[in-house]
């Protein structure tokens, strides 16, 4: 629906700040439904102020294009962290892996809880539900912080765009059973998704993904969910219990909030002999990605790249150039 580019905001002399600028794809800019979803994402995310949620600074329209100006996160999607661990034998067998992954998800629990608790100016709950929690939409920075990103299909009471009856939204391997059947959803579908993500992080295997969407849906609805310790003996019984409770098919039997789940994870971590916190995660991230953490400069050959027209809130977009041709560089490319 959109692409993300690196940008720079210039202010008073000497002030500059790197941003992530999200633009709706041009071929979707005339589709009212996509515009509404894009603006809904901006409105929801901009209201959340929490260290475990990617901040939104500004959103609007410039020269006929809709944009969201977001915090530039220096780190890696959790999905890439997962792949890096799988590819390294020492990382796969590390006894610290369960604690590291549990700490990452405990932070995500707090970010999602902040979203779930969001209220309007009258104090009424906005009933925000992310609906698309996955390892792709959780981001681990090089300073050891987990950030929840991409509220593009989030459910909320004051959305402009509303899901049609019977329409299913989400990523199949992480969708809760009630979400899969297009039933009413609440914050507990995000609890389920976090449980599925954590199960995969602990076992380094896929939980529900199958060869087709239909088989994946069937697995979500009926396949056996083994305790992670059956596939990784280092996982403690207490951590097994946290994961399996998040993956109860009846919402009433799950953790009733992501905070409740995060608290349970922190209790498990408090019993570990080895300390695993943000500092330790930061060291681990540097170990996994020794060349990471250095954003590409926004100048080339000592000359400044010409700026785009002024954006609202006094933002000046400096588009990254390659040779003499102006272009933009997606964040995914920057992290390769």
- Which tokens in the block code for residue 65? 């294009």
* Residue 241 annotated in active site: no
CB 254 within 8 A of CB 246: yes
Q: Give the pLDDT of residue 85.
A: 97
Q: Give the pLDDT of residue 30.
A: 67
- Which tokens in the block code for residue 9? 């905001």
Answer yes or no: do 117 and 191 share one domain: yes
Q: Give the pLDDT of residue 154.
A: 61
Answer yes or no: do 309 and 276 share one domain: no
Q: Give the pLDDT of residue 304.
A: 31
Q: Give the pLDDT of residue 27.
A: 67
Span 196-202, average pLDDT: 98
pLDDT at 92 over 70: yes
Q: What is the pLDDT of residues 34-84, one digit of tens each?
A: 777 777 777 888 888 999 999 888 887 877 778 888 899 999 999 999 999
Q: Name the residue with tokens 């006094």.
A: 314
Q: Give the pLDDT of residue 295.
A: 53
Using only C-alpha atoms, the chain has a radius of gyration, in whole angstroms, of: 21
Q: What is the pLDDT of residues 234-283, one digit of tens each?
A: 999 999 999 999 999 999 999 999 999 999 999 999 998 889 999 999 99
Q: Give the pLDDT of residue 212.
A: 94
For 11, 107, 174, 192, the CA distances from 252, given in Å and listed in that order, are 50, 23, 18, 12
Q: Considering only residues 222 and 292, tell me which one the structure prediction assigns the higher pLDDT.
A: 222
Answer yes or no: do 238 and 114 share one domain: yes
Answer yes or no: do 90 and 163 share one domain: yes
Q: Give the pLDDT of residue 330.
A: 36
- Which tokens in the block code for residue 23? 């633009």
Percent of the chain with pLDDT over 90: 53
Number of domains forming the structure of the chain: 2
Q: Give the pLDDT of residue 28.
A: 67
Cα(167)–Cα(175) distance, integer angstroms: 13
Among the listed ranges 2-6, 98-102, 230-234, which one has the minimum average pLDDT value?
A: 2-6
pLDDT at 134 over 60: yes
Query: Residue 189 sits in a domain of what CATH number?
Result: 1.10.510.10
Q: Give the pLDDT of residue 235.
A: 96
Q: 10 Å Cβ neighbour count for 335?
A: 14
Answer yes or no: do 56 and 80 share one domain: no
Answer yes or no: do 87 and 169 share one domain: yes
Answer yes or no: do 185 and 110 share one domain: yes
Answer yes or no: do 118 and 25 share one domain: no
Identify the band that residue 156 occupies on the pLDDT scale cut at 50, 70 and 90: low
- Which tokens in the block code for residue 236? 């403690």
First CA to last CA distance, the chain: 22
- Residue of 132, 150, 190, 240 with catalytic role: 132
Answer yes or no: do 230 and 154 share one domain: yes
Q: Give the pLDDT of residue 293.
A: 59
Task: Reduce the DSSP state of residue 60 to 3 states and report it.
Answer: strand
pLDDT at 333 over 80: no
Give the length of the chain.
336
Q: Considering only residues 162 and 50, tell me which one the structure prediction assigns the higher pLDDT.
A: 50
Domain span at residue 89 reads 76-287
pLDDT at 311 over 70: no
Percent of the chain with pLDDT over 70: 79
Answer yes or no: do 259 and 169 share one domain: yes
Query: Residue 66 sits in a domain of what CATH number?
Result: 3.30.200.20
Q: Considering only residues 151 and 208, tell me which one the structure prediction assigns the higher pLDDT.
A: 208
Answer yes or no: do 314 and 185 share one domain: no
CB 157 within 8 A of CB 119: no
pLDDT at 193 over 90: yes
Answer yes or no: do 240 and 92 share one domain: yes
Cα(46)–Cα(57) distance, integer angstroms: 7
Q: For the chain, what is the mean pLDDT?
A: 82
Final residue of a structural domain among 287, 311, 326 = 287
């Amino acid at each position: 629906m959109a692409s993300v580019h690196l940008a720079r905001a210039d202010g008073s002399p000497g002030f500059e700040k790197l941003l992530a600028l999200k633009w709706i794809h041009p071929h979707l800019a005339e589709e009212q439904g996509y515009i509404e979803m894009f603006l809904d994402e901006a409105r929801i995310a901009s209201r959340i102020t929490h260290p475990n949620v990617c901040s939104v600074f500004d959103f609007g329209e410039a020269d006929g294009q809709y944009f969201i100006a977001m915090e530039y996160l220096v780190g890696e999607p959790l999905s890439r962290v997962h792949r890096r661990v799988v590819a390294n034998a020492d990382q796969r067998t590390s006894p610290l892996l369960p604690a590291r992954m549990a700490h990452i998800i405990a932070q995500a629990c707090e970010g999602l809880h902040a979203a779930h608790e969001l209220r309007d100016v009258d104090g009424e709950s906005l009933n925000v539900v992310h609906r698309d929690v996955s390892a792709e939409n959780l981001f681990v920075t090089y300073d050891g912080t987990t950030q929840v990103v991409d509220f593009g299909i989030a459910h909320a009471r004051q959305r402009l765009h509303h899901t049609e009856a019977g329409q299913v939204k989400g990523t199949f391997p992480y969708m809760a059973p009630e979400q899969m059947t297009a039933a009413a959803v609440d914050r507990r579908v995000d609890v389920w998704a976090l449980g599925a993500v954590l199960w995969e992080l602990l076992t380094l295997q896929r939980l529900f993904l199958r060869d087709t969407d239909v088989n994946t849906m069937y697995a979500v609805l009926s396949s056996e969910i083994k305790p992670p310790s059956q596939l990784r003996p280092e996982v403690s019984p207490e951590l097994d219990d946290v994961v399996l409770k998040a993956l109860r098919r009846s919402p009433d039997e799950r953790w009733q909030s992501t905070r409740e789940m995060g608290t349970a994870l922190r209790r498990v971590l408090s019993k570990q002999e080895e300390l695993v916190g943000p500092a330790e995660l930061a060291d681990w991230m540097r170990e996994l990605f020794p060349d990471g953490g250095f954003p590409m400069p926004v100048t080339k050959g000592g000359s400044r790249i010409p700026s785009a027209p002024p954006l609202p809130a006094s933002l000046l977009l400096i588009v990254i150039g390659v040779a003499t041709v102006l272009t933009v560089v997606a964040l995914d490319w920057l992290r390769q």
